[in-house]
A = this chain, B = another copy of it.
Amino acid sequence: MKRKPPYHHGNLKKALLGAAVKVIAKVGPRAFTLREVARLAKVSHNAPYRHFRDKEELLAAVAAEGFERLADSMIESSAPSSDALDALLLSGRGYVQFALRWPEHFSVMFDQHEGFDAYPEYAASGQRAFHVLVDRIVAAQQAGQLPAGDATPLALTAWSMVHGIAKLAISGLLPFDKEDAVLEFTAFATRALGEGLRNLTW
């Protein structure tokens, strides 16, 4: 059971997760090292193996936690709006904002081509984050601001849009220096896409 209280050194699993996030933020997901995580948690280099099968599983856990935060960011960003379509665009803003603030975390979440299916926790959190987007879309549909019908293609399109912006911005490939500039660009792009999705004949 995971619910059991402390152990030898307090509950290490959570500590390792936190340490992993810190290490990734410091040296990037590429140079991320299991031993460094152990060091930061003041534990021997093999202790993590009692909580994670291998390095990949720890990364998957970090990614899963990232999806939770991502969903939160989207929800927070879109909360202040009462207009459904506006809320959708703002949730896109939240998506990009999250990526800009925790770029390494974001990388871990999406640059792991393998092990998607292998880690149900990862898939579940991802689904939850995606669902925030779908909810916004359905709301906009019900408000008549987007064409009725299956929300999935609309959601996938919107997702692709903000995901592309996020990725390119993180990589430094967008010619914007400050976060605000990127977010303004995000507003422009998502607005354009929303306009197009509304008028599309299909």
Q: Which residues of A contact B (CB under 8 A)?
A: 28, 103, 107, 110-114, 116, 126, 152-153, 156-157, 159-165, 167-168, 170-175, 185, 188-189, 191-197, 199-200, 202
State how many angstroms separate the Cβ of A168 from the closest Cβ of chain B: 6
The residue from B116, B171, B192 contacting A172, defined by CB atoms under 8 A apart = B116
Residues of B within 8 A of A28 (CB): 113-114
Give the shortest distance, in Å, between A193 (CB) and chain B (any CB): 5
A174 to B156, CA, bound (A): 7
Question: How many chain copies does the complex carry?
Answer: 2
Residues in B neighbouring A171, C-beta threshold 8 A: 110, 112-113, 116
Which partner residue on chain B sits nearest A189 by CB separation?
B157
Which residues of B lie under 8 Å from residue A157 when comparing CB positions? Answer: 185, 188-189, 192
Give CA–CA (A116, B171) in the complex, Å.
Answer: 9
Instruction: Please tell me which one of the listed residues B167, B192, B197, B202 contacts residue A197 in the complex, with CB atoms under 8 A apart.
Output: B192
With A157-B188, A164-B160, A188-B153 already in contact, the answer to whether A113 and B172 are too (CB < 8 A) is yes
Provide the residues of chain B in CB contact with A113, threshold 8 Å.
28, 103, 107, 170-172
Q: Is the CB of A107 within 8 A of B103?
A: no
In the assembled complex, which residues on chain B have CB atoms less than 8 Å from the CB atom of A110?
Answer: 167, 171, 173
Cα of A126 to Cα of B114 in the assembled complex, Å:
27
- Is there an interface contact between A192 and B196, defined as CB atoms closer than 8 Å? yes
Closest chain B residue to A165, Cβ basis: B160
Minimum Cβ distance to chain B for residue A92 (Å): 11
